[in-house]
A and B are shown apart, each in its own frame.
Chain A
């Protein structure tokens, strides 16, 4: 197993994940935009939010990949398929808890079920499985994370020698 492989896999996996979500958006399957959601936690300026959001998104990609790596090391095994399983779990966690429940509570511009007058949210909350961003969002998100996970898992097994 190679930590450098994990880092490279994280970069490529995040690139693929982002591309899948962006393509799904262009095909009107979802309004999910992870860099935008992350960036607006820092600024309300939309163009700036997207730029900052992409940096945060790729940093998150590295962070999650090394969580995968830690588990790979702990169980002594890594690979494309195992990475895909991790991605599946990661995607389900993102849809049910991470983005759905945790993000609205820490995001200063996102609504939550507790947001009340006179406050008003700039960003609508994602809802369970992020379905507020379109009924196909859960499927697209999980598939994108499966792709990310399998790439991270596969790159981790690459031997630099």
Chain B
């Protein structure tokens, strides 16, 4: 492939991600690190050229001559390998955010970029242009014992270069160049510190840490259990999700970035560096399926801790540190290809989304099924959530898609309320949560179903609609089948799967919904919906269609196997934040379900 940068931007499809379980960086195919927030995933950015090439800052590393590019992750790792081939030679760059551990004193965070001469000679240049605080804080360039250091408030970074040319500081950058010959190895390391002194590692320590990072990732990947169809895609999705798991707390971010547009040039630019309760069922299910019991425990513990302050009400999303407030503000950045406003924080956090109650109770139900127990505090809180749903289900809400138009009685929200009550009844029946409200829950569950079946089902269209008394369709209704509102054989649900496939699907692409959402502009096809449809097709017995759709969807990933939130059906361009956890979660769920259906069909 050839990386094309126009107007300072590459295609979103051209980004790969590296991370260490605390933060994540976007690496463009042309070798530029265009996004990195430090010290944490949701910290203000150090590099944000993806959102503003002029002000955002980046870490450029590229051949000085025209080249072609080939990329891959080192097998079973989140370490990226980019191979540049010019007319005179081939150079390989290995990028990693190195992992902690191993006993040696290491930097708080560290980005390493290793250069290997593979063939001939490749002239390379590099430039570190840090812009702290989304480009708002002025960096101060100094030197410590000959090592270039950049500071801004409580943050500091150093640039260590070995055989990578003499670093020079000018124009707000630390830069260098080298002629990389065959067999020669150079190394660039960028240690970072926040509220502590910088650790300046030696080359031997850096080499050892990079090798250990590769080995640790491989060890983690080797323990994942999945042997079905699309194994490589599932493993890559698992590794991408692992990058989104915030190791210090166990929370999982929806994506690694903020404000990458759903509509290029438009206003649909959101910050996804939070944990959505909406994603919790798919998250826990995927972690359990893949044998990630430590991550599953940590996520459930974090989820129950984070929701404690607002209990029994749920916020739509929580910060990775467990906080409930995520105020939205506009950043003074130009936006990806002029997509403004650039937002940090997310105002959807304050919306009412009734489906979250169903998601949390379903998650608790899954966790109880896996572990066989719930502790008394959590059990009491799950019961109180069900109590709340008995009255709250009657309210209109903003729905799973967080529309910014007037609240409605969304069908999927009501279905998830039914699931919340049904799961509570089941848990109480098994003695896992208190049963004093069970009679109320049964009554409310029947009322919710009556509402859905009379108001949210169109006799004319013969399918469930987007909201009560609406003619519109919504792919989120597929979750009613996936989470258990209706069994696969239910004729109404089956007809709804058909209607969504007929009206919202175009090739492998599925739109989220028809109708308006209170925002200007349009959006691409929502990838998770496509995977949900594939899973629904398998569950309703259309295995051949499901496999065909899944094959197409797996082919839509970028060259290193990642997905964004949406894809433009006309151009195949990635849209929205990436890597998108929900897309990868939906892939894992669909692959497992289709594999299971294929196994049953084969018996």
Contacts and interface: CB of A to CB of B under 8 A. Distances in A.
Interface string B288-303: 0000001101100110
A31 B302 CA distance: 11
Contacts of A47: 375-376
Interface stretch (B136-144, B213-221, B514-522): B213-221
Contacts of B306: 124
A133 interface: yes
B322 A133 contact: yes
B249 interface: yes
A132 interface: yes
Interface string A132-160: 11110000000000000000000000000
A118 B99 CA distance: 8
Interface string A104-139: 000000011111111111111101000111110000
A113 B294 contact: no
B248 A115 contact: yes
A153 B378 CA distance: 37
A119 B310 contact: no
Nearest to A114: B100
Contacts of A112: 248
Contacts of B39: 113
A46 B243 CA distance: 27
B311 A28 contact: yes
B308 A115 contact: no
Contacts of B295: 120
Contact of B301 (A113, A114, A123, A135): A123
A120 B248 CA distance: 6
B108 A114 contact: yes
Nearest to A49: B375
B293 to A, nearest CB: 11
Interface in B36-91: 39, 78
Contact of A28 (B294, B310, B321, B323): B310
Interface string A78-99: 0000000000000000000000
B250 interface: yes
Interface residues of B, number: 43
A31 B20 CA distance: 28
B220 A111 contact: no
B20 A134 contact: no
Nearest to A44: B297
Contacts of A120: 21, 245, 247, 250, 294-295, 298
A29 to B, nearest CB: 8
Interface string A32-48: 00000000000010110
A46 B308 contact: no
A28 B21 contact: no
A124 B100 contact: no
B18 to A, nearest CB: 11
Indicate the member of B19, B100, B194, B247 with the most A CB atoms within 10 Å: B247
Contacts of B251: 124
Contact of A118 (B21, B108, B194, B322): B21
Indicate the member of B19, B21, B216, B295 with the most A CB atoms within 10 Å: B21
Interface in B330-385: 375-378
A135 B591 CA distance: 42
Interface in B213-250: 216-217, 219-220, 242-243, 245, 247-250
Contacts of B194: 113
B321 A117 contact: no
Contacts of A118: 21, 99, 216-217, 219-220, 242
A122 B242 contact: no
Nearest to B23: A116
B265 to A, nearest CB: 35
B21 A119 contact: yes
Interface string B431-472: 000000000000000000000000000000000000000000
B248 A113 contact: yes
Contacts of A122: 250, 297-298, 301
Contacts of B273: none
Contacts of A44: 297
A30 B308 CA distance: 9
Given A31-B309, A47-B376, A115-B100, A121 B321 contact: no
A31 B249 CA distance: 14
A132 B322 CA distance: 6
Nearest to B39: A113
Indicate the member of B99, B243, B251, B305 with the most A CB atoms within 10 Å: B305
B555 interface: no
B375 A116 contact: no
Interface string B78-122: 100000000000000000000111000000100000000000000
A115 B245 contact: no
Contacts of A131: 323
Contacts of A133: 322
Given A31-B308, A112-B248, A123-B301, A117 B20 contact: yes
20 contacts: A31-B308, A31-B309, A111-B248, A111-B250, A112-B248, A116-B21, A116-B99, A116-B100, A117-B19, A117-B22, A117-B216, A118-B217, A118-B220, A118-B242, A121-B247, A122-B250, A124-B321, A125-B248, A134-B309, A135-B325
Interface of A: 25, 28, 30-31, 44, 46-47, 111-125, 127, 131-135
Interface of B: 19-22, 39, 78, 99-101, 108, 194, 216-217, 219-220, 242-243, 245, 247-251, 294-295, 297-298, 301-302, 305-306, 308-311, 321-323, 325, 375-378
Given A117-B245, A122-B298, A132-B323, 15 more contacts: A111-B248, A111-B249, A113-B22, A113-B194, A115-B248, A116-B21, A116-B99, A117-B247, A118-B99, A121-B249, A121-B298, A122-B250, A124-B302, A125-B248, A132-B321
For the complex of A and B, the 8 pairs showing the least CB-CB separation, nearest first, are A117-B21, A111-B248, A124-B249, A46-B375, A116-B100, A118-B220, A120-B298, A132-B321
